[in-house]
Structure 1
Amino acid sequence: MRQRRTRSLQWVLVRRLILLQAAMLAIFVGLCAAAFWIANPTLLVDNEAAVAALKGAVERDVNGRLVVRETEELKQFRESFPHVWYIIRDRTGQSVRSGAVPEVYAGTPGLLLDSVEHATLDLNRDDLRPEAYVENTTTKAGPVQIITSTRSSREQTDGLEVNISATVDVARNPDGSRNWQRALPALSLIVLTLVLPIVLVMGLATLVTTPAVVRRSFAGLVDTADQAARIDINTRGMQLPVQRVPQEIAPLVHAFNQTLARLAQGYDQHNRFLTDAAHELRTPIAILRTRAELLTKEPQSERLLQDIERLSHLAQQLLDHQMLERPGDERRSVDLTELGRRVTADLAPLAIEAGYDLAFEPPAGAVHVKANGMQIERALANLVRNAIDHGGGSGTITVGIDGGGGIEVRDEGPGIPPDERENVFQPFYRLQPQSRGAGLGLNLARQIAELHGGTVSILGGSERGARVRIELPVSSC
């Protein structure tokens, strides 16, 4: 079954943000359209506002002539637009004007302007004469035509003028009502034309910025994940930092830290149990050995002593495993030559009793490594004991030290098959299930070597037997 790929958070955010922005923009456009539809606003530009102010001011005097009263609205408009001018005509030809009326607008308008409701009179762009607004409207004085503008020349601007013009004419039915069935496709196209570029720009901005923001926001989480990947059995008490972790992820990191603390506590309790059990075993084993030595020298008593020795060695190996928990600050300069000579001498009686010759090959001079001497001594002792247990009971076991920080133990037994050379380092793994060893010696030696930055390997060659080598970094002192 194909494993499903995990989703990328940043691309999920990108897609959802783009969809959210598009939806919000569509809702905003819809609300604006609804508001305009309900309010049906009338937007006035300056010239149209001038007409609106003049409508309420146009009257007739007692003689029936057109007059423009100075209403409050017109007065306020003049204060805002001091250059306003206008021409007001009725259908009888009477007119009233005010302000600096450009000559081009002073003539009699054509019949077309008499028939339109309103229009903007715009001249050539290079012409300094201003645009004007004309509207045929009904006032207190009756139907009139108003031509007006808020300025007499385009030079009377504030330096910059922006004109935005939009005309929306909806198709109508014969009765004058709007025909939305015909208008909606065109309106949809207009809205799409206006909204689509905005959505594309917003989507592109989101596509570019979101991954960078997500990577920056989760940089602390990446560092925390890297630290979590480096946690092993020797750093089980480590706690992951939460200072740079996003607030939403912090509970997960706290829960992980609590799990690490519980695991470390359980591991320590387990180690203490093994240590106490190994210590407790040493006393009855010593009593058994003493009593067995008092027995008559017979084959059965000899085998009993060998079994007791194996049991004692297993208890010692369990203690050696707990010794690996000691802190690294106990390391000091150790002379491997002297250490190898001492271990060889200590184990010589055991090797000779098992039927071997034990040889020691020292280097030309001293070889110093920075290590915990007791641990290195136990690693070498386990390799020698392993050779005694599996070397075939004859031949020579050789302990060699070289100037490169190497320690070798060689025997002349059946050796270790190439395909088993990695398996034998597993705890309690034995090539022969009925063999005398417990399967802990090589595993312990590897753990001690790795704890000191070294390695343990089983070497091949033309020689008969097994050849196990420990390599440790040599110190300068």
Structure 2
Amino acid sequence: MKKLRPTSLQWVLVRRLILLQAATLITFIALLCAAFFIAQPRLIIDTEVAAGLVAEAIARDAQGRLVIEDTDDLRKFREEFPHLWFVVRDEKGEVLREGDVPEAYAKGTGELLWGVNKATLGFNKELRLPEATLMNADTRTGRMQIIAATVASRDQTDGLEINVDLDFDVVRYPDGQPIWVRIIPILALVVLIMLSPVIIVMGVTTLVTTPAVVRRSLAGLVATAGQAKRIDIDNRAVQLPTEQVPTEIAPLVEAFNNALSRLGQGYDQRNRFLTDAAHELRTPIAILRTRAELLREDPESARLLTDIERLSNLAQQLLDRQVLDQSAGAREVVDLVAFARHLAADFAPLALGAGYDFTFEPLATSVLVNIQPLQIQQAVTNLLRNAIDHGGGEGTISVVVDGRGGVEIHDEGPGIPDDEHERVFQPFYRLRPRNSGAGLGLNLAREIARLHGGSVEILVGPWVGARVRLQLPLWQPTTSGVKPQAARQTS
């Protein structure tokens, strides 16, 4: 089954915001069109209002001449637009003017314009003449042609004049009804063309700004995630801060902190139990060893003492494994050559007694390392004991120290298969189930090396037997204020 890739919250938000904005805009335009279609509104600009009010106020006096009655609506309009002017003509050619009529509009319009109902008149903008509305209307005194505007010059505007002209003409049946089957697709295409630039601009803006906004908003969460990566078994008591975490994520961080607390408590309880159990085992094992030593010497007694020694070693390794997390003293700058020489001297009789030859191959110069001596002594002891127990009882066991901070233990036994090099470091894993080991020595040595910033690995090469290397970091005199001390004497 294909593994699902994690989804980026940032790009999910970008895509959804773009789609949401586009859908909102299209919905708004659709509702606006529906409202216009239902209400059928009539948009009237100021000049059209002026022409309509003049048409309503046209009358004739007793002599039959054209006059403008001072209606309430027209009077209010004049107060609002003091520069109002208009020209009224009847079909016989009589003309009535009022206001500052521009000379260009005072001339006759000819027969052509008598055939239209309404038109907007405009001149070149350089002439500074305003636009005016021409209307041919049937009034109570007959058909009249009216030209009206609210200003006589463009200088009389308020500084900005906006005119919007929308003209729609649709295909119709002979009876005048619109042919919607042909209109709707074209109208949809026109709306799409009109909205496309807006959608593109909104999408690009969202694409550019949203990642920065999201990164800024999630900066606290990213910092918290970085702190979470640094949590391991050695600092499991660390709690993640929630001050800079978004409110929606804070419950998750708090739940994670609570889980860490519960795991830490459970880990500590388990460690205390194993430590207490290993410690309590030492007393009955010591009593059992004393009683076994009082038995008469025979093969069965020897095997019993061997089993007791194995049980004692297992209890000690369990105890050592559990106290690794506790402080075992301050670190010291130690000469690794002298340190390994004392350990080799201690183990030489054991190796010789088990049937091996034993050699120590030191470096000619000092190799300074910053270590906790008791723990490193324990690690090297486990590696040497492992070589004695599993080296086959013959050949040579060698302790080699090099200038890179490494201690290697060589034996000439059956060795460790390549595919077992990692598994032998697992707790209680034994390469040969019937052997006398407990499967904790290599694991304990690696954990000690890890706490020192070093490593333990099994080397691969054409040699016979196994070669295990303990690598320790060299002391850096420029970064440490610790002075070298004499190597700890071991016994």
Give me the TM-score of the superposition, normalised by structure 2.
Answer: 0.86
Q: Return the alpha-carbon distance in structure 1 between the equivalents of residues 128 and 404 of structure 2.
A: 99
Determine if contact 2:328/2:374 at 8 Å carries over to the other structure: no
Report the residue type matching 2:285 in the other structure. Answer: I
1:391-434 per-position Cα deviation (integer Å, ceiling 9, x unaligned): 33345544344454332333343433444443332322323222
1:250-276 per-position Cα deviation (integer Å, ceiling 9, x unaligned): 322222222222222212111111111
The count of residues paired between Structure 1 and Structure 2 equals 477
Corresponding residue number in structure 2 for 1:112: 112
Q: Return the alpha-carbon distance in structure 1 between the equivalents of residues 440 and 317 of structure 2.
A: 7
Determine if contact 2:336/2:366 at 8 Å carries over to the other structure: yes
- Larger deviation: 169-178 or 135-144? 169-178
Alignment of 1:78-477 (within 5 A): 78-157=78-157, 161-327=161-327, 330-348=330-348, 350-356=350-356, 358-364=358-364, 367-459=367-459, 464-475=464-475, 476=477, 477=484
- Larger deviation: 445-454 or 164-173? 164-173
Q: Return the alpha-carbon distance in structure 1 between the equivalents of residues 36 and 420 of structure 2.
A: 85
Report the residue type matching 1:441 in the other structure. Answer: G
Q: Return the alpha-carbon distance in structure 2 between the equivalents of residues 158 and 361 of structure 1.
A: 102
Pairwise CA RMSD? 3.0
Q: Return the alpha-carbon distance in structure 2 between the equivalents of residues 338 and 468 of structure 1.
A: 20
Corresponding residue number in structure 2 for 1:17: 17
Determine if contact 2:275/2:323 at 8 Å carries over to the other structure: no
After superposition, the Cα gap between the structure-2 partners of 1:255 and 1:154, relative to the gap in structure 1 and judged at 3 Å, is closer
Corresponding residue number in structure 1 for 2:32: 32
- Larger deviation: 446-455 or 99-108? 99-108
- Larger deviation: 459-468 or 424-433? 459-468
SS at match of 1:205: helix
Determine if contact 1:362/1:401 at 8 Å carries over to the other structure: yes
Alignment of 1:49-60 (within 5 A): 49-60=49-60
Determine if contact 1:78/1:84 at 8 Å carries over to the other structure: yes
Q: Return the alpha-carbon distance in structure 2 between the equivalents of residues 417 and 387 of structure 1.
A: 15
Unaligned runs of 5+ in 1: none
How far the C-alpha of 1:318 sits from its partner, in A, is 0.7
Corresponding residue number in structure 1 for 2:487: none
Determine if contact 1:121/1:134 at 8 Å carries over to the other structure: yes
How far the C-alpha of 1:280 sits from its partner, in A, is 0.9
Report the residue type matching 1:296 in the other structure. Answer: R
SS at match of 1:469: strand
SS at match of 1:409: strand
- Larger deviation: 138-147 or 431-440? 138-147
Report the residue type matching 1:447 in the other structure. Answer: E
Q: Return the alpha-carbon distance in structure 1 between the equivalents of residues 412 and 104 of structure 2.
A: 125
How far the C-alpha of 1:184 sits from its partner, in A, is 3.0
How far the C-alpha of 1:91 sits from its partner, in A, is 3.8
SS at match of 2:242: coil
Determine if contact 1:399/1:407 at 8 Å carries over to the other structure: yes
How far the C-alpha of 1:448 sits from its partner, in A, is 0.8
Q: Return the alpha-carbon distance in structure 1 between the equivalents of residues 203 and 438 of structure 2.
A: 67
After superposition, the Cα gap between the structure-2 partners of 1:163 and 1:294, relative to the gap in structure 1 and judged at 3 Å, is same
Q: Return the alpha-carbon distance in structure 2 between the equivalents of residues 332 and 78 of structure 1.
A: 102
After superposition, the Cα gap between the structure-2 partners of 1:306 and 1:147, relative to the gap in structure 1 and judged at 3 Å, is same
Report the residue type matching 1:380 in the other structure. Answer: V
After superposition, the Cα gap between the structure-2 partners of 1:191 and 1:405, relative to the gap in structure 1 and judged at 3 Å, is closer
1:140-162 per-position Cα deviation (integer Å, ceiling 9, x unaligned): 44443222223334454455544
% same residue: 59
Determine if contact 1:323/1:375 at 8 Å carries over to the other structure: no
How far the C-alpha of 1:178 sits from its partner, in A, is 4.6
Q: Return the alpha-carbon distance in structure 2 between the equivalents of residues 291 and 262 of structure 1.
A: 44
Unaligned runs of 5+ in 2: 478-483, 485-491
How far the C-alpha of 1:278 sits from its partner, in A, is 0.7
1:221-258 per-position Cα deviation (integer Å, ceiling 9, x unaligned): 34433443443332333333333433333322222222
